[in-house]
Amino acid sequence: MSSGRNDLEIGYDVPAAIGDAVEDIQTPALVIDLDAFERNVERMRCHIESMDVRLRAHAKTHKSADIALFQIAKGGACGVCCQKVSEAEALVRGGVRDILVSNQVTGPLKVERLARLAGRARIIVCVDDATNVAALSKAAQSVGSTIEVLVEIDCGARRCGVQPGVPAADLARCVAATPNLVFSGLQAYHGSAQHIVDPVERRAAIASAIEMTRDTVRLLAEHGLECAIVGGAGTGSFDMEGCSGVYNELQCGSYIFMDADYGRVRDDDGGMVGGFEHALFVLTSVMSKTAPTRAVCDAGLKALAVDSGLPLIFDRPGIAYAAANDEHGKIDDPGNRLAINDRLLLVPGHCDPTCNLHDWFVGVRNGKVETLWPVTARGKLY
């Protein structure tokens, strides 16, 4: 057993130390299989290269400056996306210099913070409201920075974004005419379509988004507005937008980890989408075994997000994660195979909110802890 780095203090604030054996990681812990992770990063780099588009990897998945910098250095990413100003601030502190906040930033102090941040790094933001455009401009003027702006269109998700076509063109002209803002293109992300399991249905949903986006790009060109960025797409559909001839920046995030929900999304060949593999796990231990067909593990709602379904147990047939309580997972163990302190790897149902529960990624290779990456922007919600 490792004596750990925390022995001299009251408390254990990191679930492992570099060099520890995997068996000594304190559970539950968020574990990356570094080999699988690096294969996923390389797979996406090859996909992107073959389609001749850019990758702007979505950092909302991992919230880690270390992973963002790895995606930029080794994975073909031109920069990253995130969703909140505080996330962008944390990533800039961590050394990332090209960030799209793929979301609206509207609160007065948030707008001011974003404008300041644009003096430190390339900052791009989405808009769907003319009053917000004026506020961004005023803040950027006051600190002397320039903010790049994408007009977000609602291409099927029915969430944020103006309607494609004329409303988008009107807002784009407004941006282009406003001081200290640069009109940089369109944000056209169809989030819900990413998770459609069947590739034919998924392609139909994305085809509709592509057509709306194509028409809007054409209309903008007629008004003399070129889109340096036409952004969108995710792990479920990136090949469709990437081959469309319309999109030029893909915003995939989950491909590095592949949660259980994305694991159900199929490619035409019936395999996991993009050829990616599970690389993120919650390592858990059995801590109670008082019934022959039931075990209880130490990873529940505070260690795993269950909004997209329960976790899968990796590589252990015959047992199943059956229910998540606050601090416990109930495991069906019909063959009475489990014992106290047995360890299991859980594939989380949804990786993004699962990562946001943990303070550390424990990167493992060959049975040893090789990296400890903080979840840099964990809890950066505002």
Return the residues of window 236-275 that contact a second copy according to CB under 8 A: none
User: Contact 254/234 with Cβ under 8 angstroms?
Assistant: yes
Nearer to a second copy, 163 or 371 (CB): 163
Q: Binding to a second copy by residue 106, rule CB under 8 A?
A: yes
Among 197, 187, 185, 201, which residue's Cα sits nearest to residue 233?
A: 187
Return the residues of window 50-79 that contact a second copy according to CB under 8 A: 60
Q: How far is the CB of 114 from a second copy (least distance, A)?
A: 11
* Contact pick of 38, 66, 154, 261 for a second copy (by CB under 8 A): 154
Among 211, 270, 198, which residue's Cα sits nearest to residue 245?
A: 211
Nearer to a second copy, 278 or 328 (CB): 328
* Contact pick of 301, 314, 320, 332 for a second copy (by CB under 8 A): 301
* Contact pick of 131, 200, 224, 366 for a second copy (by CB under 8 A): 131
* Contact pick of 1, 270, 317, 367 for a second copy (by CB under 8 A): 1
Q: Binding to a second copy by residue 89, rule CB under 8 A?
A: yes
Nearer to a second copy, 48 or 369 (CB): 369
Q: Binding to a second copy by residue 333, rule CB under 8 A?
A: no
Q: How far is the CB of 271 from a second copy (least distance, A)?
A: 26
The whole-angstrom separation of Cα 179 and Cα 140 is 8
For residue 109, what are its two tokens? 């102090």
Mention every residue, 6+ apart, whose C-beta is less than 8 A from residue 28.
282, 283, 284, 285, 297, 298, 299, 303, 304
Q: What is the b/e burial string over 174-207, where b = at least 16 CB atoms within 10 angstroms of the residue's CB?
A: bbbebebbebbbbbbbbeebbbbeebeebbebbe
C-alpha distances (whole Å) from 345 to each of 15, 26, 202, 258, 328 are 15, 13, 30, 14, 15
Q: Binding to a second copy by residue 113, rule CB under 8 A?
A: yes
Mention every residue, 6+ apart, whose C-beta is less than 8 A from residue 247.
53, 188, 210, 213, 230, 231, 232, 233, 241
Q: How far is the CB of 169 from a second copy (least distance, A)?
A: 15
Helices in 52-165 by DSSP H: which ranges?
65-74, 85-93, 108-117, 130-143
Q: Binding to a second copy by residue 31, rule CB under 8 A?
A: no
Partner residues linked to 282 by β-bridges = 30, 346
Instruction: Calculate the CA 55 to chain-centre distance.
Output: 13
Q: How far is the CB of 92 from a second copy (least distance, A)?
A: 6
Q: How far is the CB of 76 from a second copy (least distance, A)?
A: 24
Nearer to a second copy, 76 or 161 (CB): 161
* Contact pick of 298, 319, 344, 348 for a second copy (by CB under 8 A): 298
Q: How far is the CB of 342 from a second copy (least distance, A)?
A: 10
Partner residues linked to 374 by β-bridges = 360
* Contact pick of 290, 317, 366, 367 for a second copy (by CB under 8 A): 290
Nearer to a second copy, 103 or 216 (CB): 103
Nearer to a second copy, 85 or 217 (CB): 85
The whole-angstrom separation of Cα 283 and Cα 165 is 48
- At 119, the amino acid letter reads G
Contact stretch for a second copy (CB under 8 A) within 136-144, 205-213, 271-279, 325-333: 325-333
Contact stretch for a second copy (CB under 8 A) within 44-52, 175-183, 195-203, 323-331: 323-331
Return the residues of window 159-188 that contact a second copy according to CB under 8 A: 159-163
Q: Binding to a second copy by residue 294, rule CB under 8 A?
A: yes
Pairing of strands 280-291, 368-374: unpaired
Nearer to a second copy, 53 or 347 (CB): 347
Three-class secondary structure of residue 256 per DSSP: helix
Q: Binding to a second copy by residue 356, rule CB under 8 A?
A: yes
Partner residues linked to 286 by β-bridges = 297
